[in-house]
Every structure is written in C-alpha cells, then in structure tokens.
C-alpha cells in the first residue's frame, strides 16, 4: 500500500492544565480518501487536526505528512501540504478582496506574476467563485465566504484539506452547493463534522473519536447504522432517520 498522506502513530497530547486531549491515537489516511471525523464535544477532534499542520507538535508518538515527520523544523512545509479550513471563514479572510486573500499564501511562498495569477484563478474556478474575485469578503454571504476560504487553501496546492464543520451556518442550498464542490475536488479530505448525514453524503469512511481515543474506524454507512455505537459516543442521526447496516 502507498505511503499514507497522513500517518498518525501513537499520538498523545496533554494540555498544560492537565487535560488529556489525545490518547495513543493511530490514524492513517491515504491519497484520494474523504474521511469524516466524528465525535462529541471535547473528544479531541480539534486538537488532532491542529497537530496535522504543526500548530501542535506531538508530545508522544508521531505524525507524518507523505513521509515528512511533523516537527519544529518541518512546520513550514507541513503547512503547505496540509490546508485547514476553519469553522468560521472570517478567521481566514482578512484582505481587501477575495483575490488578495486567495493569493496571500502562494505569494508568501515566493510565487508572483503570471504564475501567481494563474494559481489564484485556478483555485477560484475550482470552487466556482471566479466572478467574486474583486469583491470584499465582508460583502459575501456566509456560503461564499466559506468557498473563498477553501480557495485560499487550494491555492497552496495542499496534499490534504482538513475542513472543520464545513456545513455550520449554511442554508440548505449552500450546503448542497458545498457538497457538490467537495465531491469535485481531487484532493484528500478530512472532514470534521457533527452533521452525520453530511458525513454519509460526502465520506465513504468515518472515524469516531471520543475521550481522546479512536473508538471506531470503518465504512460510514456501517458506523452510522449502528445505533448502539452512536449512542455510546453521544452521536445521533436526525429524528426519524435510520440506516440499515
């Protein structure tokens, strides 16, 4: 089997106040997969994804991106390889126009001129907001802001995109449009969500994290069809929805 795009092995992490956030986590994600990361609040999901682009450095165990181990001396390259789209797009959009936001990352890598323009145009086109390039981010709808944030990540040519609660605050049509966009992207994706139906729509594989440990990893339809498993880890499908395992 090929080298995992993300390889998490024996990862443990404790915050300075003594809170144990991750306990001996093992997780391998391969190129082209779309994986849902589910779990109740406080399960350790955010701590895990912050390890994936070097915001946290492992205290115990290791994490590697395409064979490159995360550490103080590799953070810059890791952040190029792993793009994180945060839950609130306003945390990522801070320039005067959408185009300036999307070009911010590659420009900081030294890209310029026609090469930079082509990179930005391609990213905007992939998320279908090329017509919004000259708009101010604060004049966009929430769904448009989310697409702009995704474009900014894609402009860095990442090997994996991590999306934190991508459907939060989206109306039904924006949610549908985002689904179409994510399914069209030829990039490995890890989607952190409380929206179990969205995980079923977009991800063939699901990982459940609880109390800092991986408690389940398998086909999304099988895991979401296990009522006992979901209840044990404080997860639930919408009322009236049942899946056959």
* Burial class of 243 by CB neighbour count within 10 A (0 to 12, 13 to 18, 19+): middle
Q: Could you tell me if residue 179 is inside a domain?
A: yes
Q: Could you tell me if residue 126 is inside a domain?
A: yes
Q: Could you tell me if residue 243 is inside a domain?
A: no
Residue 244 is predicted with a pLDDT of 62
Q: Could you tell me if residue 106 is inside a domain?
A: yes
Residues 94-152: tens digit of each pLDDT: 999 999 999 999 998 889 999 999 999 999 999 999 999 999 999 999 999 999 999 99
Q: Could you tell me if residue 131 is inside a domain?
A: yes
Q: Could you tell me if residue 1 is inside a domain?
A: no
Q: Could you tell me if residue 15 is inside a domain?
A: yes
Give the domain CATH number at 56.
3.40.50.300
Task: Indicate whether 81 pLDDT > 80.
Answer: yes
Side by side, which strands form the sheet with 160-164?
82-85, 160-164, 188-192, 34-38, 205-210, 213-219
Residues 198-245: tens digit of each pLDDT: 999 999 999 999 999 999 999 999 999 999 999 999 998 876 566 765
Q: Which domain holds residue 143?
A: 6-232
Spatial separation of the C-alpha atoms in residues 186 and 195, rounded to whole Å: 22
Task: Indicate whether 3 pLDDT > 90.
Answer: no
Q: Could you tell me if residue 222 is inside a domain?
A: yes
Instruction: Please give the tally of structural domains in the chain.
Output: 1
- Two tokens at 77? 């390259």
Task: Indicate whether 194 pLDDT > 80.
Answer: yes
Task: Indicate whether 170 pLDDT > 90.
Answer: no
Helices (H), the chain: 45-52, 75-81, 98-108, 113-126, 142-154, 172-184, 196-202, 220-224, 227-232
| pLDDT confidence band for 1 (50 / 70 / 90) | low
Q: For the ranges 39-53, 65-79, 222-236, which has the lowest average pLDDT? A: 65-79
């Amino acid at each position: 089997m090929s080298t995992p795009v993300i390889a998490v092995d024996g990862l443990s992490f404790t915050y300075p106040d003594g809170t144990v956030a991750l306990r001996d986590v093992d997780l391998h994600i391969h190129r082209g997969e779309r994986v849902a990361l589910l779990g109740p609040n406080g399960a350790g999901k955010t701590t895990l994804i912050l390890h994936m682009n070097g915001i946290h450095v492992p205290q115990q165990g290791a994490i590697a991106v395409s064979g490159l181990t995360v550490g103080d001396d590799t953070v810059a390259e890791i952040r190029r390889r792993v793009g994180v789209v945060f839950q609130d797009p306003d945390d990522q959009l801070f320039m005067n126009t959408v185009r300036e936001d999307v070009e911010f990352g590659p420009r900081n890598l030294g890209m310029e001129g026609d090469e930079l323009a082509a990179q930005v145009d391609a990213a905007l086109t992939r998320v279908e907001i090329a017509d919004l390039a000259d708009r101010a981010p604060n004049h966009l709808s929430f769904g448009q802001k989310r697409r702009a944030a995704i474009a900014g990540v894609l402009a860095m040519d990442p090997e994996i995109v991590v999306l934190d609660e991508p459907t939060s605050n989206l109306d039904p049509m924006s949610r549908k449009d985002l689904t179409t966009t994510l399914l069209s992207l030829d990039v490995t994706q890890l989607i952190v969500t409380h929206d179990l139906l969205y995980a079923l729509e977009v991800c063939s594989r699901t990982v459940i994290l609880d109390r800092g440990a991986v408690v389940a990893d398998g086909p999304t339809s099988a895991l979401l069809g296990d009522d006992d498993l979901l209840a044990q880890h404080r997860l639930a499908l919408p009322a009236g929805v049942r899946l056959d395992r």
